[in-house]
């Protein structure tokens, strides 16, 4: 399973902010994922999807698990007829002396 690293906070295949569907076909949505290395493994979470997180022994494992977690999270929202959150988070680097 390929994992991509977005350079922008979100990108929709429809190119229309706020839309996650293209007709009846679902469009691709890219969410920002934060990866953190701990003393005994890796964690990942999605700021735009509250509670959507994964942990694993390696970075590679947590990358796979967070993709699965995002898919399950969005499936649950759709099954409950809830709106899918628009990706809004962004990252930046701050240089300190």
Q: pLDDT tens for residues 59-95?
A: 999 999 999 999 999 999 999 999 999 999 999 999 9
Query: Model pTM?
Result: 0.71
3-state secondary structure 1-65: CCCCCCCCCCCECCCCCCCCEECCEECCECCCCEEEECCCCEEEECCCCCCCEEEECCHHHHHHH
**Distance, CA of 27 to CA of 83 (rounded, Å):** 14
Domain boundaries, the chain: 34-79
Assign 96 to helix, strand or coil.
Answer: coil
Average pLDDT over residues 17-38: 71
pLDDT of residue 24: 44
The percent of residues above 70 in pLDDT, for the chain, comes to: 73
């Amino acid at each position: 399973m390929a994992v991509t690293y977005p350079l922008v906070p979100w990108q929709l295949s429809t190119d229309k902010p706020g839309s996650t569907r293209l007709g009846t076909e679902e469009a691709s949505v890219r969410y920002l994922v934060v990866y953190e290395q701990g003393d005994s493994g890796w964690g990942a979470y999605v700021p735009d999807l509250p509670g959507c997180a994964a942990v694993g022994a390696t970075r590679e494992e947590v990358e796979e698990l967070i993709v699965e977690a995002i898919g399950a999270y969005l499936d649950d929202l759709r099954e409950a007829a809830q709106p899918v959150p628009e990706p809004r988070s962004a990252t930046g680097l701050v240089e300190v002396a």
